[in-house]
Structure 1
């Protein structure tokens, strides 16, 4: 079985409205780690499964209680999504800030159009390269982030310095931005 842990929780964002030019990312960038729990498998077998490249993680935005998907917008903006950016991530296998190897999914390019309090829901899907095209693939595991706040421009407290985890993954080639 798969278990997800949000290793880096989103804390704040500046709402970006409906233009593309003024997009600001959620800070810090959410990072989710995947764990495989299989009592019959050896550590080597689990490590090999974590390096399986046919997995993806999808991100959606939910209300602060985590019981309603808020991805859609009110009627006036039906064609728009509330969560912008790259909402699907591929696995990155590397070492964390404690030099422990792991499989991480990073979301460095997420923005939210509207102010409010939200959570992010992460869904892991493991694709079968031998499956019939068009067949459905089940979600293997989900995790919900802590509540984070999306501020209006005038109330936004500013970006934080990058964490040790972000810096460590970046050093190994993960496509994630560093802030001083």
Structure 2
């Protein structure tokens, strides 16, 4: 999906022309299949949890010689408050050079490399949308933007999918799409897709093949420390 600009006609960003950008900061690695998703003890959330950064750029005098682009301060939560991110799951081929546990089964009839999948989705969207495995996800597939400090102690706005698991084995990628549900945007779509990006490929295996959990990443610790501080305030 090519970057697009949107003119906001109502909401926190009213009167502004904005371009949104998503960047994956953290992607899952080797994960264990969830067999009984309704049992929270047996849930296997993706690890490390997927984290996607949202950046907003205001474009002034778009298309003119005096065009100016400036990034909105991610610490200004009002500008980011209406943004949510949704994920879809797609099966892919085992990446070249992959070293790690192998899934016992790959349920998808057709598998593509990531770049081929993205190209085909752009060209044949209606057909390839039917190939997604989003129904194999369990948990929160839509999350709100939250403000944290990154590893360099700079404020950033992120989407964290800390409660999502996969119910089948295989190699997969996630597609992230963000929307602003608090604003009105001049667009042919009621709520247009403001930005899109993809995760790195990851693998989901059964219990016997799973090598065990790794230590939490620094970014994961930063996020959950923030959640703990907010809970303590409450």
Contact in 2 for aligned 1:56/1:124 (Cα 8 Å): yes
Contact in 2 for aligned 1:82/1:112 (Cα 8 Å): yes
Report the Cα offset of residue 157 of structure 1.
Answer: 1.2
Report SS of the residue matched to 1:139: coil
Q: How does 1:106-145 map to 2 (within 5 A)?
A: 106-129=160-183, 136-145=190-199
Could you tell me the TM-score, scaled by structure 2's length?
0.63
In the alignment of these two chains, the number of paired residues is 163
Deviations 1:131-156 (A, max 9, x none): 8xxx8201101110000000011001
Contact in 1 for aligned 2:138/2:167 (Cα 8 Å): yes
Q: In structure 2, what is the equivalent of residue 23 of structure 1?
A: 43
Alignment pair present for 1:61 and 2:123: no
Structure 2 gap segments, 5+ residues each: 1-18, 60-67, 93-112, 118-127, 230-234
- Equivalents in 2 of 1:129, 1:174: separation in Å? 30
| CA RMSD in angstroms, aligned pairs only | 2.4
Contact in 2 for aligned 1:92/1:174 (Cα 8 Å): no
Report the Cα offset of residue 160 of structure 1.
Answer: 1.3
- Equivalents in 2 of 1:174, 1:141: separation in Å? 30
Q: In structure 2, what is the equivalent of residue 78 of structure 1?
A: none
Report the Cα offset of residue 162 of structure 1.
Answer: 0.9
- Equivalents in 2 of 1:99, 1:36: separation in Å? 19
Contact in 2 for aligned 1:71/1:83 (Cα 8 Å): yes
Contact in 1 for aligned 2:50/2:162 (Cα 8 Å): yes
**Larger Cα Rg: Structure 1 or Structure 2?**
2
Structure 1 gap segments, 5+ residues each: 73-80, 176-180
- Greater per-residue helix proportion: 2
Contact in 2 for aligned 1:8/1:32 (Cα 8 Å): yes
